[in-house]
Structure 1
Amino acid sequence: MMPRHHSPLAQVLIISVVCFLCPGMFNALNGLGGAGQLDMHTTSNANTALYATFCIFSLAGGGIVNVCGVRYTTAISCLTYAIYTGSYIYYNKTSNGGLTILAGSILGIGAGILWTAQGVIMVSYPAEEEKGKFISIFWVVFNLGGLIGGILPFAINYYHSGTLTNSVYFIFVILECGGSLTALFLVPPASVVRDDGSHATIVKGHNAKRECLEVIRLFKNKWMLLLLPMSFTSNFFYGYQFSQYNGAIFTLRTRGFNNLLYWASQIIGSYVLSLLLDYSKWSRRRRGMYALIITGVSFNAVWACTLAVQLRYTRGGEYTDYPGGLIDFLETPRAAGPITLYFFMGMVDSWYQNIAYWIIGTLTNDAHITARYVGFYKGIQSMGAAVSWQIGAREIPFMNQLIGNWVLLILSLPTMAYTVTRVENWALDDQMLSSSPALDNDSIFNRSFGWNMSSTHIVKSSKKNEIII
């Protein structure tokens, strides 16, 4: 039975397909290392430009989505993915990376807005008891894009050892344009109705000036500041994993094969974690802490294994000094370990990303507030990614990059843990808030914490008929 078009599930499925066709295809290319190019400098510089503008437009994305809506902003944003992918066709013909770097900066604008809209739909539309499930649904469909997108270069380039062919890039452009058309089926947040008859958000008036002020206030929001390490770290490791690991020690077709495993593991990992995050017999705090412990221990185990591999080489690509040269997946004895490790890199990444969104989802159910929170998260995330890709472009020693990634991960865990221990106090009832005009967010939070918490909502206790914060 098909879900109602205006239901949270239908809208999450639509944005999932959009991200399947656009960010999913981008991930498939990026996961090859150098977007399928032998020379990775152009892609690293393009990604630096991409994430620099991504950072700016993620911070502004909440205001843009709130003022302009999710439908057309998402549809237009999808076209920037097609522009970026198409630039590699020009690069294959001319070896001039200028257009690709420019296209990367344009993509950053679109990606910042798209991911803000995605966060609003995925986190604020579902009911409290369905957040983990809806995050998992999105992550499964979205990563099918990386999985299927990885099949194309793997199959087409099976007997080809150079860069990706123009035909592969052209197919990706067509798929990304399809994502833009799919976005037109999205509806305004105020039109989304849950199965119990409640609306996903309250209809409010918004203007550009107010949204700018609300974004600025986020930098005084206690919980946003606590989540800065998590936000900065959450995509930082992609540069190393995609280029300095997958792109450095594997043949082109094996990089494609690894892509299949990486995104398949994301699907598996996301589903497994959703079972824990929505386990109704445990409190949200307990679920969150168990999920964070599993993620932290697993991530540290993966980086320890990565260190063992990294000790064997100092440079990658066709001039790699990895023992025996580039690894092909048919060389089973020497390929099994490094390929399996890459599989688990994808799995623990999905756990980290899922719990990050889950934490943000505990802050509010209001779609307008969520837009700002997700925009802030994606903005800081993109800042970290821009730094990461520029480190790769500047040829910082691989070992130094590995250590930097590992340290950042460890530093992000304490503030995530502290935040999770407070999630039970943040269950939002936005409908009750709208009917309680006498309560003043700013004054309550200023008295309680000494912080300006204007973007955080008051909540109704699930245990008592009282207002808590």
Structure 2
Amino acid sequence: MDRDLINVLVLGVSFMFLFTSFQTNGFIQGPMIDSINHEYGKDHYGANTFVSMCLIYLIFSLVNWIAPAFVRLMGARLSMIVSGVTYILFIANFLWPQAWLLYIVSMIVGFGAAIIWTAQGYYLTICSNEKTMGRNSGLFWTLFQCSLLFGNIFVYVYFKDMTGEDIPHSTRTITYIVLTIVGTIGIVTMFFLGSPKSLRSEEQDEQQGSFDVLQSIRESFALLSTRRMLLLCVTFWYTGIELSFFSGVFTTALGRINTLDKDGGNAKKFVGLAGMIIGIGEIVGGLIFGILGSKTVRWGRDPIIILGYFVHMISFLLIMINFPPDSTISETVKQSAYIDPNLVIALISGFLLGFADSCFCTQCMSILGTLYADNSAPAFALFKFFQSIACACAFFYTPYFNLYIQLAILAIFASMGTLSFVIVEWKLRQQNDQQHIN
């Protein structure tokens, strides 16, 4: 098997284990913190999951400007290993719940997230070429999103017989011990990442060992000043808003709608199931655009983005009619939805959210790896900057805006992000056609 393909598979497996830990926590963190607040009292704990998430993505966004400098200094593999440790610290903090500790480790993992995702984009790019970038992006995304499937299978099986409105202390402890161990396996797997065979990687390796923050910032600003990158940043911003929605808002709201549970009146036990369904949607999208990437790439990236747009619109409509508007701002849902909340419709909405997200994210990685193959670290840093700052903003307004307002914001930015991506893709296609003619 091709060495670079093996590297991509190892990269995907390592992220699968690490983010089985982190992304599973993202889905259950809201219900977990609600339960801890009920057990200890808000005066003794008082943490807020949306404040934690806002801190993560705020620091994430700021550090992205200097992340390429860290990647040059340490190299891609060591950067990912060191950053992975910050994720383990974040997960382990729930074994000793303290609000101040949660907010500190939220900032720490925000720093690590900027480094790990810049290093991942750089490493994926130097393991790929123009022909394999789409395939490799899809394969990585599929393996990465298996984290949603496996982690949430564990949560659903473990939580399904739970009674009462809260998650018991013993259940929380075992959950986070397991997630900490799984995340550690992901870090160990990163030690098996090999050196890419491409000539481009040898050229890039000459820059390793240097640490020039100002150069990193200058490169990012130079890219940001181009019309093409400015247009793509609108798409990046949308992926951040919808990331916050499906990874934290959707499942937190679902866990508060106890009428979804016709037996025990506790919808929190469905959070793992919803996360698993979202993961299946991500995996299906990754497989279609990864394994079948050589066929879908013939039609371009824009049809996939447009498909993701319409799938998102359908999911937003289903959520609007199925979820009460106050489910995002109140732990005790009092308002009614357009219909009686239905678990099947909620799960279908989750699948559509995951599938559409894979449409956007795989094509964003693909176009960046193609356009900026010779200088990918700043490009991926900008991607993660706009995605994470949008995510931070969304988590900030989540406790104050009801569900309908949030869905309206999503619909507006989905339209803008889709249009801007299509413009870039069409311009790129025109340039390629002109080069072939000449």
Structure 1 segment 60-459 matched on structure 2, within 5 A: 60-91=66-97, 96-161=98-163, 162-163=166-167, 165-187=172-194, 191-194=195-198, 198-200=199-201, 202-203=203-204, 204-205=206-207, 207-209=210-212, 210-250=215-255, 251-274=267-290, 277-279=293-295, 282=298, 286-310=299-323, 312-315=324-327, 319-321=332-334, 334-366=342-374, 369-392=375-398, 394-424=399-429
1:215-256 per-position Cα deviation (integer Å, ceiling 9, x unaligned): 332332332212111111112123333444322234122111
Q: Are the structure 2 counterparts of residues 64 and 221 from structure 1 closer, same or farther at C-alpha, using a change threshold of 3 Å?
A: farther
Do 1:59 and 1:378's aligned partners in 2 also have CA atoms closer than 8 Å?
A: no
Q: Are the structure 2 counterparts of residues 243 and 375 from structure 1 closer, same or farther at C-alpha, using a change threshold of 3 Å?
A: closer
198-207 or 217-226: bigger deviation: 198-207
266-275 or 77-86: bigger deviation: 266-275
Q: CA deviation at 1:70?
A: 0.9
**Residues matched between the structures, number:** 405
Relative to the length of structure 1, the TM-score reads: 0.79
1:90-124 per-position Cα deviation (integer Å, ceiling 9, x unaligned): 11xxxx31101110100011111111111112234
Do 1:42 and 1:100's aligned partners in 2 also have CA atoms closer than 8 Å?
A: no
Q: CA deviation at 1:277?
A: 4.4
**Unmatched runs of 5 consecutive residues or more in structure 2:** 38-46, 256-266
Residue number in structure 1 paired with 2:13: 17
- Distance (whole Å) between structure 2 residues aligned to residue 112 and residue 281 of structure 1: 29
125-134 or 236-245: bigger deviation: 236-245
199-208 or 370-379: bigger deviation: 199-208
Q: Are the structure 2 counterparts of residues 181 and 35 from structure 1 closer, same or farther at C-alpha, using a change threshold of 3 Å?
A: farther
Q: Are the structure 2 counterparts of residues 376 and 281 from structure 1 closer, same or farther at C-alpha, using a change threshold of 3 Å?
A: closer
- Distance (whole Å) between structure 2 residues aligned to residue 35 and residue 365 of structure 1: 42
- Distance (whole Å) between structure 1 residues aligned to residue 119 and residue 232 of structure 2: 20
- Distance (whole Å) between structure 2 residues aligned to residue 280 and residue 273 of structure 1: 7
- Distance (whole Å) between structure 2 residues aligned to residue 318 and residue 281 of structure 1: 45
1:11-45 per-position Cα deviation (integer Å, ceiling 9, x unaligned): 21122122112233211111235163326952211
- Distance (whole Å) between structure 2 residues aligned to residue 337 and residue 103 of structure 1: 35
Q: Are the structure 2 counterparts of residues 222 and 124 from structure 1 closer, same or farther at C-alpha, using a change threshold of 3 Å?
A: farther
Residue number in structure 1 paired with 2:41: none
- Distance (whole Å) between structure 2 residues aligned to residue 205 and residue 144 of structure 1: 33
**Unmatched runs of 5 consecutive residues or more in structure 1:** 328-332, 428-459
Do 1:143 and 1:267's aligned partners in 2 also have CA atoms closer than 8 Å?
A: yes
SS in 2 for 1:72: helix
Q: Percent of aligned positions with the same letter in both sequences? A: 18
Q: Are the structure 2 counterparts of residues 281 and 113 from structure 1 closer, same or farther at C-alpha, using a change threshold of 3 Å?
A: closer
Q: CA deviation at 1:69?
A: 0.4
Q: CA deviation at 1:306?
A: 2.3
Give the partner amino acid of 1:423.
Answer: L
User: Is 1:50 paired with 2:56?
Assistant: yes
Higher helix fraction (1 or 2): 2
- Distance (whole Å) between structure 2 residues aligned to residue 35 and residue 84 of structure 1: 17
Q: CA deviation at 1:421?
A: 0.7
Q: Are the structure 2 counterparts of residues 126 and 218 from structure 1 closer, same or farther at C-alpha, using a change threshold of 3 Å?
A: same
Q: CA deviation at 1:166?
A: 0.7
- Distance (whole Å) between structure 1 residues aligned to residue 296 and residue 22 of structure 2: 36
Relative to the length of structure 2, the TM-score reads: 0.85
- Distance (whole Å) between structure 2 residues aligned to residue 103 and residue 401 of structure 1: 27
Q: CA deviation at 1:8?
A: 1.5
Pairwise CA RMSD of aligned residues?
A: 2.6
